[in-house]
Amino acid sequence: MSNVNELLTFIEKSPTAFHAVENICRELEAAGRTRLSEGEEWMLEPGRGYFVTRNMSSVIAFDIGDASSLRVIAAHSDSPTFKIKENAELSVRGKYTQLNVEKYGGMLYSTWFDRPLSVAGRVLVRTEKGMEARLIDVDRDVLVIPNVAIHMNREVNDGFKYNAQTDLMPLFGDETSKDGFKKLVAETAGVPEDDILGSDLFLYPRVKGTVIGNSGEYILSPRLDDLECAWSGLSAFIAARKPARGVNMLCVFDNEEVGSGTKQGADSTFLRDVIKRIFIALGAKKEDVYRALAASFMLSADNAHAVHPNHPEKTDAENCVFMNAGIVIKFNANQRYTTDGVSAAFFHKLLKDRGIPFQHFANRSDVAGGGTLGNISGSHVSINTLDIGLAQLAMHSCCETAGAKDVASMVDGMTAFYSSNVEVGRDGEFFLS
Ligand code: ZN
């Protein structure tokens, strides 16, 4: 179970997308990959590995064999949370100081109440020559969003509609904490208040990930969606080592929870730009590029809904998935999940040949369900793609539950993917090795 402990430690050290990406970069550097910057010239060599970040919250890593194909795994770095507004404080009757927050993504509101919260993110600091970004983490219990007592809200257990403006503001302190937030941020960043020119700061729950269940069969942690897949992809990318053929790519994109439509999200040019620069550096001809894309595959990895113990009726009768039953392959006729017969067959063969467990998911036919990275990214880089994930409960709660055994299955499946090689014949014919 050492990979479970490593995963939970990674998540704990990654309270925001910025921190997740920083921790991924640190692991990549320790594993011998070279950091690139989008603003500099790239001199790439076959047999070597590299990574590049955009906005400090998305990262693409790649190991170069040759220009014959791409094997891409995509996951996301962000999770639903609350973002702190520019004018960050609210005063209540002169006695309380609250933080002024708005929601980021679609979370289960009730899970954020009555638990210690803290603040982390990015600040832009004035320097002699301009400005630079620094990550901060207040890293102590400092805030709470208090429930209204049942005596003052008798109907709460009959279903209650929370209002994001009135019900969800966290308590920061008493009247002595007025004007204290900027001070706290500046102190944490180690700079004078006036030197902070901008910020992207978020709340995070202070709860640590833990192993639960009578036999230790589950994990309970914040941000399993989608740091579980991001961490599995990273572990597989490093474990697979440098490929002889093709290019292995790991993409961890920010902003999936708000539609991916940012300069660093899956709906940006980031992946396409990096692919173009790899082909240019390898001296590939246009014809080589089209041939390589035809032989390329992508795994879009984002967690899936396990059958709920209290509500098994919420899932399809047969295409339903359970924790600890292996990698989930997701299907949707309207292609909100990108898996089709070809991409499923390719992955089935890969997993069956190695005895790695997998299962199939489709929504109930009367439920729309959510899309994820694959179909968005596919509009920029059109390659064979399938949507996969791990089964979990309580998606978008601030504490989610997943299967402890599944982490190893995902790492093994992704490593097998990175170690595979595909050549194409006529349309529909694939040579796999
Ligand atoms: Zn997700």
Q: Which domains does the chain possess?
A: 2-79+222-432 (3.40.630.10), 82-205 (2.30.250.10)
Beta pairing, strands 49-54 & 58-64 = antiparallel
| Cα-to-centroid distance, 370 and ligand 1 (Å) | 9
| Cα-to-centroid distance, 345 and ligand 1 (Å) | 24
Read off the DSSP letter of residue 111: G
| Cα-to-centroid distance, 29 and ligand 1 (Å) | 26
Burial of 258 (C-beta count, 10 Å sphere; 0-12/13-18/19+): middle
Closest CA to 323 of 394, 262, 250, 405: 405
| Cα-to-centroid distance, 326 and ligand 1 (Å) | 18
| Cα-to-centroid distance, 238 and ligand 1 (Å) | 22
| Cα-to-centroid distance, 184 and ligand 1 (Å) | 31
| Cα-to-centroid distance, 229 and ligand 1 (Å) | 9
CB 208 within 8 A of CB 8: yes
Joined tokens for residue 422: 């595909």
Backbone φ and ψ of 363, nearest 5°? -65, 160
| Cα-to-centroid distance, 257 and ligand 1 (Å) | 7
Residue type, 225: D
Give residue for tokens 């002595």.
Answer: 176
| Cα-to-centroid distance, 372 and ligand 1 (Å) | 7
CA distance 60 to 45: 17
From first to last of its 433 residues, what are the pLDDT tens digits of the chain?
579 999 999 999 999 999 999 999 999 999 999 999 999 999 999 999 999 999 999 999 999 999 999 999 999 999 999 999 999 999 999 999 999 999 999 999 999 999 999 999 999 999 999 999 999 999 999 999 999 999 999 999 999 999 999 999 999 999 999 999 999 999 999 999 999 999 999 999 999 999 999 999 999 999 999 999 999 999 999 999 888 899 999 999 999 999 999 999 999 999 999 999 999 999 999 999 999 999 999 999 999 999 999 999 999 999 999 999 999 999 998 888 999 999 999 999 999 999 999 999 999 999 887 777 888 877 788 999 999 999 999 999 999 999 999 999 999 999 999 999 988 888 888 898 8
| Cα-to-centroid distance, 396 and ligand 1 (Å) | 8
Neighbour-count burial for 265-278, b at 16+ CB within 10 Å, e otherwise: bbbbebbeebbebb
Backbone φ and ψ of 373, nearest 5°? -75, -40
| Cα-to-centroid distance, 303 and ligand 1 (Å) | 6
Neighbouring CB atoms inside 10 A of 339's CB total 24
| Cα-to-centroid distance, 225 and ligand 1 (Å) | 5
Residue type, 315: T
| Cα-to-centroid distance, 169 and ligand 1 (Å) | 25
Beta pairing, strands 400-403 & 70-76 = unpaired
| Cα-to-centroid distance, 230 and ligand 1 (Å) | 10
| Cα-to-centroid distance, 266 and ligand 1 (Å) | 12
CA distance 253 to 94: 42
| Cα-to-centroid distance, 318 and ligand 1 (Å) | 23
CA distance 391 to 403: 7
| Cα-to-centroid distance, 358 and ligand 1 (Å) | 19
Strands of the sheet with 218-221, listed across from one edge? 210-212, 218-221, 400-403, 391-393, 304-305
| Cα-to-centroid distance, 410 and ligand 1 (Å) | 15
What sign has the CA pseudo-torsion 171, 173, 179, 181? negative
CA distance 367 to 311: 15
CA distance 343 to 422: 12
| Cα-to-centroid distance, 65 and ligand 1 (Å) | 30
| Cα-to-centroid distance, 355 and ligand 1 (Å) | 26
Backbone φ and ψ of 218, nearest 5°? -125, 160
